Amino acid sequence: MRFKEKTVIITGGDKGIGRAVAAAFAEEGANTIIGYHKDKSAADETVKLVEKAGGKCEAVKVDVRSRKDCENLVETAVKSFKRLDIAVNNAGVSTMSWAVDLTEEEWDFNMDVNAKGVFLCCQTQVKQLIKQGNGGKIVNIASIAAKRQAMLLSHYAASKFAVLGFSKSLALEVAPHNINVNCVCPGLVKTAMQEREIGWEAKLRGLTEEEVINEYNSHIPLGRLEEPEDVAKVVLFLASDEAGYMTGQAINIAGGMEMAV
Ligand SMILES: NC(=O)c1ccc[n+]([C@@H]2O[C@H](COP(=O)([O-])OP(=O)(O)OC[C@H]3O[C@@H](n4cnc5c(N)ncnc54)[C@H](O)[C@@H]3O)[C@@H](O)[C@H]2O)c1
């Protein structure tokens, strides 16, 4: 029970990686506030799952592009559970396009949710953690596309490189407050986002979905696609006391797809 009585915010906590993170925290005693964007029924399902795992959980509608919504998320955590200890900024989107055809709308959409959303969430969370005066932990969900080339995802990769640059700089500035800021970089995780991407990629490259999946698998030394739980385990480690001396790091969780740091 590493997180007994800790309050954890998870953006995009209604489904996919965020849901697995919420359930894992609940199993270890945490109270969770999950942010969801549009899918109330997915959020309700996650709340049930988390409560079954033994934790208290509240779902809050949030668009991470809105400062007011990000502030409301933190205020709700404090109102419901007295304080904030940990935040996992996981909300994210992707679209696919050849860079040569990419529209400004697609660029802005990815940058706004993935990069600006992390900035707004972190800024609001850090203000609260500094006010409380007892430190805290922030884990931002980047991507392996934050460290390397990603075909059809130039705009997404740019937004995730931004997450790393922002997180490392923030880590430096808030270290004197005993706040740790780290990132994880997942690879090819079995979620709704991946399902959408397989369809788009097949269409854009003139392949079948099966061919796309086979190509994904051929890039993964550990020989299988990633489960949301693979990500959750490392997120919990970074949010735990065991990782107290780690900050400004970006940890690959990608089955060996990328071995450079
Ligand atoms: N699936 C993968 O292969 C993969 C790989 C690397 C990184 N990631 C990252 O992991 C994170 C979670 O992705 P996932 O695969 O679980 O995808 P998903 O599509 O299943 O979930 C995305 C989540 O983001 C939330 N969201 C979307 N737009 C939002 C907005 N404007 N405001 C607030 N919340 C919003 C949704 O509510 C949802 O909970 C994302 O940041 C994604 O970029 C995913």
Structural domain boundaries of the chain? 7-187+227-253
Q: How far apart are CA 259 and CA 261, in angstroms?
A: 6
The pLDDT of residue 260 is: 87
Does residue 93's CB lie within 6 angstroms of at least one atom of ligand 1? yes
Q: How far apart are CA 256 and CA 253, in angstroms?
A: 8
Gap from CA of 176 to ligand 1 centroid (Å):
31
Architecture per CATH, 7-187+227-253: 3-Layer(aba) Sandwich (3.40)
The pLDDT of residue 152 is: 98
Nearest-CA residue for ligand 1 atom 4 is 189
The pLDDT of residue 102 is: 98
Give the pairing type, strands 86-89 and 136-141.
Answer: parallel
Does residue 188's CB lie within 6 angstroms of at least one atom of ligand 1? yes
Among candidate residues 105, 121, 91, the one with its CA nearest the CA of residue 155: 105
The pLDDT of residue 111 is: 98
Mean pLDDT by 10 residues, the chain (261 residues): 96 98 97 97 97 94 98 98 98 98 98 98 98 98 97 98 98 98 98 98 98 96 97 98 98 96 83
The pLDDT of residue 41 is: 97
Give the 3-state secondary structure percentages of the chain, helix then strand then coil, rounded to 5.
Answer: 55, 15, 30
The pLDDT of residue 261 is: 83
What positions carry a catalytic annotation? 156
The pLDDT of residue 24 is: 97
Does residue 63's CB lie within 6 angstroms of at least one atom of ligand 1? yes
